[in-house]
Amino acid sequence: MPTKVKITRKEIKATSLFKKIMAEHFLEADSASKDPNQKVAWCTSVGPAELLTAFGFKLYFPENHAAILGSVRTANDYIPIANAAGYSPDICSYLTSDIGAYIKRETPLNKIYNIESMPKPDVLVYNTNQCRDVQEWFSYYAREFNAPLVGVNAPKAIDVLEEHHINDVDDQLRAMIEPLEKISGNRYEPETLSEVVRLSLEASTLWREVLDTAANIPSPLTFFDGSIHMGPIVVMRGLQTAVDYYKILKDEMEERVKNGIAAVDNEKFRLYWDGMPIWGKLRALSEQFARLNACVVASTYCNSWIFDSFDPDNPFYGMAKAYTEIFINRSERVKEEYIAEMVKKFKIDGVIFHDSKTCPSNSNARYGMPARIRDIFGIPTLIISGDLNDLRCYSEEQTKTNIEAFIEQLEEG
C-alpha cells in the first residue's frame, strides 16, 4: 500500500519566547485601551508604526488579528456575516473576516490571551501602499468607534522610484504630526522618532539576516516558519523587544546551519512562494512539502517586512522611501526582476504563485508573470488558486495534486 511518510516537525526553540512576546503585545494593547492615560493606535501592517510608537501609542494591527482568524480557521465563520452586511465576498477576506468577527463581537484573542475584545482605537492609521482595501477597512472601524482616521495615500505601481514619490509620502507623513500630537497629547520629539526608527531598522536588518540563512543548503527554515516568526517584525517594529527576539532567532538559525540541521529532512527541491500564505492550511501545506522533500525556502511575503531604507538621521524621508518602495507597490517589471533575483540568491528550483482570490494586490499570477519567469529564466512555475483566509475559495484536493505534480515535474529534471 502506498504509505505516507511521517513528518517530524523541527520545533524552533525560540517559539516559546515568540509566544510570550506576542502575548505581551496583545495584553499591553488591551490594558492601554482600558487606561485613560494611554492611547491605542490601529495601524496597517506596512503603515507608519514608527511614527505612532514615537508618539507613545500602543499599537494594534487588524491584519495580524485577521491572520489569527485564518490560522485558527474561524475566518469562514465570520466572512459570511460581513458579506451579509454588504462587504462583497470578492474583496479582501482579511477585511471581511475581521469585520464579521467584530459584528459578532467575537475574537480569538479571548481564547488565546483571555482578552475580551479588540482594544478600542483612539486613532486609526493606514497606508494604501499595500492596497486600497485597508482604507475601507479602517474607515469602517473609524465610523464604529467614532475615532479619527489618518493615512497615507501612496503613489501606486511604481516602476522607477523617484524623488517626487518619496517627497509626496514624506509630506503626508509629516502632515500626521499635528493630529497625532492632539490625539496622543504628546509633542513630536525628533530624537524619539530617530531612536524608534533606529530600532526598527535594526530589527528589520536582523529579520533579513534570519531569512537569508535559508540561502544555505539545506535551508534551516521554511516559508511556513517565517510566516509565524514574522509576527514581531509586523507588530513590534521600533521596539527593543523585536531586536532582541530576532537576535535570538538568528543565532538559532545560524546554529542550525553550522550543524547542518535542515528544516525539511533530505531537502531535494528548493521552492519560492509568491503571494499570501493560506493561513488555514499552513500546517497541512508545510507537511505536504516536507513529505515531498521540498523546502519552500523563501517568499515575497516574508521578505516584505525588510526595510533597508529606514534612516535614523532622516526618519521621515527614510520611512517614506522604505514604505513606498515595497514589492507590492511596484510595477510588474520590478516585481519580475525581484523574483528572478530571489531565484538566484536562494538557489530555487521552482516558483509557486499563490493566486489569492480576494487579494489581487498580493497575487502576481494575473498578468502573465509565471509564464515570463518560466520562459525568460528557465525555471518551472506553478499557480495555486486559493485565498489568504476564505477557504471557500480553496480546493484541498486540487492544490494537493498540483503541488505533487509540480514536484514530479521537477523530479523529471
Partner 1 sequence: MEKIYFGGVDVGASTTKAALIDNSEYIIGSSVKKTTTNLEDLAKKVFDEALNSSKILREEVRYIIATGYGRENVNFANEMKTEIICHSKGSYHYFKDLNSSMAVVDIGGQDNKVIKLDKNGKILNFKMNRKCAAGTGAFLEEIAYKLDVPLENLNDLATKATKDLELGSYCTVFTSTEILENIKAGETKENVIKGAFISVVKRIVEMESLEGVVVMTGGVIAHNPEIGKILEKQLNVKVHIPPNPQIIGALGASLIAKEKFNNQMNQG
**287 belongs to the binding site for partner 1 (CB under 8 A):** no
Which residue in this structure is represented by grid cell 485558527?
Answer: 72
Select the residue interacting with partner 1 from 129, 135, 381, 389 (CB under 8 A): 381
Inter-residue contact 322 to 51 (CB < 8 Å): no
Helix (H) or strand (E) holding 295: strand 294-299
Least Cβ distance, residue 87 to partner 1 (angstroms): 22
Q: How far is the CB of 380 from partner 1 (least distance, A)?
A: 7
393 binds partner 1 (CB under 8 A): yes
Among 24, 178, 181, 408, binds partner 1 (CB under 8 A): 408
Q: Which of 167, 205, 293, 402 binds partner 1 (CB under 8 A)?
A: 402
| Per-residue contact flags (x/-) with partner 1 for residues 329 to 368, judged by CB under 8 A | ----------------------------------------
Q: How far is the CB of 282 from partner 1 (least distance, A)?
A: 20
Whose cell is 503571494? That residue is: 275
Among 110, 114, 266, 409, binds partner 1 (CB under 8 A): 409
Instruction: Cell 525588510: give the residue.
Output: 306
Separation of alpha carbons 49 and 63, rounded Å: 13
Contact region for partner 1 (CB under 8 A) — 105-113, 181-189, 204-212, 374-382? 374-382
d(CA 138, CA 124): 6
- Give whichever of 255 and 408 is closer to partner 1, judged by the CB atom: 408
Gap between the Cα atoms of 210 and 299, Å rounded? 13
What is the C-alpha radius of gyration for the chain, rounded to an integer number of angstroms?
21
Residue appearing with cell numbers 488555514: 280
Grid coordinates of 114? 483571555
Could you give the CA distance from residue 192 to residue 238 in angstroms, rounded to a whole number? 10
For residues 92 and 66, what is the distance between their CA atoms, to the nearest angstrom? 10
Q: Which of 106, 347, 374, 377 binds partner 1 (CB under 8 A)?
A: 374
Grid cell at residue 86: 454588504
Q: Looking at residue 280, what DSSP letter applies? A: G
Among residues 76, 328, 383, 389, the one that binds partner 1 under rule CB under 8 A: 383
CA distance 142 to 406: 45
Interface residue with partner 1, options 28, 77, 212, 404 (CB under 8 A): 404
380 is an interface residue for partner 1 by CB under 8 A? yes
Which residue stretch of 177-185, 198-206, 228-236, 394-402 sits at the interface with partner 1 (rule: CB under 8 A)? 394-402
3-state secondary structure at position 325: coil
**H and E: helices and strands count for the chain:** 19, 8
114 near partner 1 (CB under 8 A):
no
Asked if 385 interacts with partner 1 (CB under 8 A), we say yes
Contacts with partner 1 by CB under 8 A lie at 1-2, 4, 374, 380-381, 383, 385, 393, 395, 397-398, 401-402, 404-405, 408-409, 412-413
